[in-house]
Amino acid sequence: MKASAGDIKYVQSLQQKKFRRQHGVFVAEGAKIVKELLSSDFEIEAIYGVADWIEQNNSSLQKGTSSFTVSENDLGRISGLKTPNQVLAVVKTPTLHPEPNLSRNKVILALDTLQDPGNLGTIIRTADWFGIRQIVCSQETADVFSPKVIQATMGSFLRVSVLYTDLAGWLETVRHEVPIYGAFPEGDNMFEVRPGTGGILVIGNESAGISAGVSKWVSKRIKIPGGLPSSGGFSPDSLNASIAAGILMSVLTRT
């Protein structure tokens, strides 16, 4: 079936958060991500692809899923990418888990007002790599179902659960159950952290770091050693949030 002008307008509107929430859907782009979606438990509302992709993958489409053929030009109009990739899917937003599953043998990420979609997507992808399956976000953190976040995860959003809540309030309720780690300049060297004990790892805002309301519940302050001057005599002020998160995840999940 060929996509109509109304279909094109509808998918275009989903680049905006208010319309994604209104319709209860999000957009996932690219052949790799759509292929993974087709074999997942996510419910796909519709697929929009170029003729070649639709023809080659018709047998793989979920039963009852609407598929629309679009021209390269129309795919460019509905895509959020600079270089559209054959196909995109409009997916029903899943019901998020109401409560994280705490365990001393698992690491849970807590994101405090992380605002860059690229950082959030990269952190989700990195968490997936390290086997971390749960992320708890403050309400001010970027929308996990924004097209930029979904694209940056490269499909890892399918395996990592993301929950939004009053982060400070949640940490207060669980502070006696598991250690809560956070990165601070005055913290202990991260390499002195005992591996395999699990806990919650807090990652702060890109510019402001961990907020005062959240930091008071951090029980173990740690730091990433480094910041040595380069050959030109300069050192970076700080690490990118997603890079810092990846380094800390590697330490807390090591066995």
* pLDDT tens profile 18-59: 999 999 999 999 999 999 999 999 999 999 999 999 999 988
> Which residues, 6+ apart, have CB-to-CB distance to 13 below 8 Å?
19
Contact 126, 245 (CB under 8 A): yes
Place of tokens 């994604």: 20
Check residue 98 and give its pLDDT: 62
Does the global pTM surpass 0.95? no
Which residues partner with 66 through β-bridges? 46
Query: CA–CA separation, 155 vs 128, rounded Å?
Result: 10
Q: Which pair of tokens denotes residue 180?
A: 């809560």
Check residue 237 and give its pLDDT: 56
* pLDDT tens profile 157-210: 999 999 999 999 999 999 999 999 998 888 889 988 876 668 999 999 988 999
Check residue 129 and give its pLDDT: 96
Contact 26, 93 (CB under 8 A): yes
Tell which phi-psi region holds residue 226, choosing left (phi > 0), alpha (psi between -120 and 50) or beta: left
Query: CA–CA separation, 91 vs 9, rounded Å?
Result: 16
Check residue 198 and give its pLDDT: 80
Q: Where are the domains of the chain?
A: 5-92, 107-252
State phi, psi for 188 to the nearest 5 degrees.
-75, 150
Q: Domain 107-252: give its CATH code.
A: 3.40.1280.10
Point out the least confidently predicted range of 4-8, 152-156, 223-227: 223-227
Place of tokens 């913290």: 187
* Helix axes of 117-129 and 241-252: crossing angle, nearest 10 degrees: 20
Q: How far is CA 50 from each of CA 70, 74, 75, 92, 136, rounded to the nearest angstrom?
A: 5, 9, 8, 22, 37
Please count the other Cβ atoms lying within 10 Å of the Cβ belonging to residue 181.
Answer: 23
Side chain identity at 165, as an amino acid letter?
T
Average pLDDT over residues 2-20: 94
Class of 5-92 per CATH?
alpha beta
* pLDDT tens profile 51-101: 999 999 988 886 778 999 999 999 999 998 888 889 999 999 998 766 777
Check residue 105 and give its pLDDT: 59
* pLDDT tens profile 124-154: 999 999 999 999 999 999 999 999 999 999 9
Check residue 235 and give its pLDDT: 45
